[in-house]
Structure 1
């Protein structure tokens, strides 16, 4: 909350406090000095000024504790200075009360708080130090602790959010080039072979790049846009394999504008392309997507290419697992089945935000 709004809230609180205390006292006309004065607007104005004066003493105690004493004790750990500020604050309150009662209330408003029997200095000071000051002093302390707890908690949440955004951006920056470099190699091969499919492949790549660099930087994208991205990736894979790529992409349910984490599925698909067998009609790469109001099921299954060894290892799947933990911490289930001949990944996203 902006500082000016906080100040306005404080002013509003004290204004309500003054009015709510002055009105009942005025209606009961319980000040001894005004027992024989007829209630009218002038008398209420006097009650209002008196209540304002005594509230000013409360304010001095409260903000003296909140702004000066509490920070010295609990933030800066300057205990001697804290004690000095406490003594100064009590002295200020004593002087302020004396000035109000004998410099304004009595001579200007005709209000005598002691009914003609002023207290001796010792009782006057002890009343403020032992009874008047401690309660309001503790209110200021309590407000200081509450405000600092709120600020620290909010700062912690902002730091966590910033950390999450930074980590997600870093993970996306790793996933995208992984697929991109493989695709560029395929298009280079088509160009080298002077294939008529090279222009079509280049066009699809430009569409994918636009999505990756502009739209894919968003945390969430519509599911139908993600599906379009997968379809282009599959088309590029088929072009690069000269049509000898058996890939089935089955879609069921409602594939609409429901939000899903951007560039989430491509790592599973790209992993199947990279490590799977694509040229056997009897064992195609199976990609399955089902979406409804309960969530999304995404499954990729491929036969292993046992003759292909990637000594560098991949970063795509580990990154997706980390992104799932960050974006869907309690709303996903990822199952990996790694048998001798087949590799299968099954992802369930539960209770998505559109349900």
Structure 2
């Protein structure tokens, strides 16, 4: 909250507190010194001014402890200085109250809080110590403590948010070069072979890069855009495989403007293309996306290639795991089944 808004809230609080006491007092005309005066606007102004004067003592007690004593107690741990400030505040309150009552109330408004009786220094001191201090002195300390706790907690949340945002940006930047490197290699092979599909593959890559560079910088994108991106990736893979890519891509449910982090599924798909059997019509790569009641289910399944797995292939999967943890904490489930001949990924999450 901005500082000016906090100041306005404080002013409004004290104003309401003063009105809460001055209005009933005016309606009942409770002060002895003002009993004989007519109940008009001038009398209300006097009642309001009296309450304003008394609450100025209260506010002095509250804010002096908030600004002077509390920082020494809770931040600097300088207890002797806190004690010194407490003594000075007590003396200031006594002097200020005397000035308000006998320097303004009595000569200007005609209000005598003691009905002509004498007021001793001992009375003023004990009244300040036992009436104001037990309440507003402690309130000032409590307010400082609560405000410090809230400010520290808010700062910590902001730091965590910035840290998570920076980490997400870094993880996303790791995805883009990896995909770009693989795609360029595929198109280079088509060009080298003088394939007629090379221009179409280049066009698909252009559409993919446009999405990655212009749109995926946002924290969230529409699910429809993400599905279109996957379709382009799959088509590019089919072109690169010269028609020998057997991929079943199926989408069910209402796919529209639901929001999802961009480039969330590409690591799963790339992993299947890189380490799965893609040219066996009996065992095609399965890519399924289902949406039911704002729950998204995503599955990628493939037969595994023989031989040792490329150890660098797991980087993308590690990144997407971390992105899911940061974006959907406690609201997603990722299950990976890695058997002797088949690799399956099942992801479920709540759409935003």
TM-score (normalizing by structure 1): 0.95
Q: 1:115-264 to 2 correspondence within 5 Å?
A: 115-264=115-264
Deviations along 1:221-255, one digit per CA (max 9) or x if unpaired, are 11111111111111111111122111111122222
TM-superposed CA distance for 1:313, in Å, is 4.0
Contact 1:275–1:308 (8 Å) recurs in 2 = no
TM-superposed CA distance for 1:141, in Å, is 1.2
How big is the alpha-carbon RMSD for the aligned residues of Structure 1 and Structure 2? 1.5
Deviations along 1:86-140, one digit per CA (max 9) or x if unpaired, are 1111111111011111111111111111111122212222211232233111111
* Counterpart in the other structure of 2:298: 298
**Structure 1 residues 255, 42: closer, same or farther in 2, change over 3 A?**
closer
TM-superposed CA distance for 1:312, in Å, is 3.3
* Counterpart in the other structure of 1:20: 20
- The alignment covers a number of residue pairs equal to 352
TM-score (normalizing by structure 2): 0.96
* Counterpart in the other structure of 1:352: 351
Three-state SS of the structure 1 residue aligned to 2:340 is coil
Runs of 5+ in structure 1 lacking a partner? none
Deviations along 1:138-164, one digit per CA (max 9) or x if unpaired, are 111121122122212211221121111
Contact 2:271–2:313 (8 Å) recurs in 1 = no
Is 1:56 aligned to residue 69 of structure 2?
no
Contact 1:33–1:112 (8 Å) recurs in 2 = yes
Distance 1:34 1:291 in 2: 75
* Counterpart in the other structure of 1:41: 41
User: Which of 320-329 and 30-39 deviates more?
Assistant: 30-39
Three-state SS of the structure 2 residue aligned to 1:312 is helix
Runs of 5+ in structure 2 lacking a partner? none
TM-superposed CA distance for 1:67, in Å, is 1.3
Three-state SS of the structure 2 residue aligned to 1:277 is coil
